[in-house]
A = this chain, B = another copy of it.
């Protein structure tokens, strides 16, 4: 009667087939599959051989329906194309997979519409939990959607809903460490290049930059804070303009992996050496920051640690029945000091032209 047009699929094997083949009831077969305690040895063996003979695989969808749990975690990030998010997804996937969960990834691209759609997808697909970093943390509809999620959620690097769990990167002390490092070296003209100041992360970093400078008795020069129009645009020109200023900034902080390559290029084109002519600190620690000549000092958030925190918070609720109020854990970025920062040049008045004649980059130490 209910036969959908003679499926060409060669009759998926169900637990019912296993039971039949082993000459037991489906209940017993199920108990074996799930490793229940009360099973006689011979029955277990018969079922197990039936399973391998028939090549039976439990149907996860049916199980999910029955159990009201899918062992799936939804993960909404801005864009895995960004290496930082790519690595994070990776770390999350590793840990969750080890715990028996599968991760459903969705790129929100910072689009409100898309974020709503994704959140809705997560809801109707019965995720056991979600990990999200909404680009539009301030949007009322997104906020509403997040708050009305009926599964455990961990919010990453956004400050949205106090009743939920959060993992927050502690940008302010992070940036303070950078400014302290630079100020300690003697820098007084420090420039900052950021991708876009929307959103908590950039706001906090700029805040940390200002307060860090203030703590050193310096004042942030607004003209030295450059914000890129979009995450996609090249920062080459912006950095170039910065380097053309007089007095030239003696140190540059570049907040974004994409920005770093452009900045390095701009510095080279201006014939400047790192760190002799200009000091440089980057965010995010891409692999080549380590292998660059000279190795670049970076402010790094430990992705592994962040993933660890996120997963632990989430599984507390998903798997261990935690019921408490929203918790918030901070991950402090660490300053990895390498060779791209030094004292500012004595003669800031010297002309760039003169320098262009020197070897382009300092030698590997």
Query: When the two chains form their complex, are residues A359 and B271 in contact, meaning their CB atoms are under 8 A apart?
Result: yes
Smallest Cβ distance from A146 to chain B, in angstroms?
15
Query: When the two chains form their complex, are residues A86 and B90 in contact, meaning their CB atoms are under 8 A apart?
Result: no
Partner of A361, one of B86, B126, B357, B360: B360
The number of chain A residues touching the other chain, given as a range, is 35 or more
Query: When the two chains form their complex, are residues A126 and B60 in contact, meaning their CB atoms are under 8 A apart?
Result: yes
Which residues of chain B come closer than 8 Å to A234, judged between CB atoms? 287-288, 290-291
Partner of A4, one of B68, B104, B291: B68
Which residues of chain B come closer than 8 Å to A236, judged between CB atoms? 291, 293
Sample of 15 further A-B pairs with CB below 8 A, known A59-B65, A232-B287, A258-B287:
A58-B124, A59-B124, A60-B125, A61-B70, A65-B65, A80-B80, A90-B107, A93-B107, A103-B105, A104-B105, A234-B288, A262-B291, A266-B293, A269-B293, A360-B361
A 227-263 to B, binary, CB cutoff 8 A, 1 in contact else 0:
0000010101000000000000000000000100110
Known: A65-B65, A126-B60, A126-B61. A150 touches B10 (CB 8 A): yes
| A347–B292 CA distance with the chains assembled, in angstroms | 29
| 5 residue pairs, one from A and one from B, having the closest CB atoms | A360-B360, A261-B288, A234-B291, A81-B86, A60-B125
Known: A10-B150, A106-B93, A293-B265. A271 touches B360 (CB 8 A): yes
A 125-154 to B, binary, CB cutoff 8 A, 1 in contact else 0:
110000000000000000000000010000
Does A350 sit at the interface, judged by CB under 8 A? no
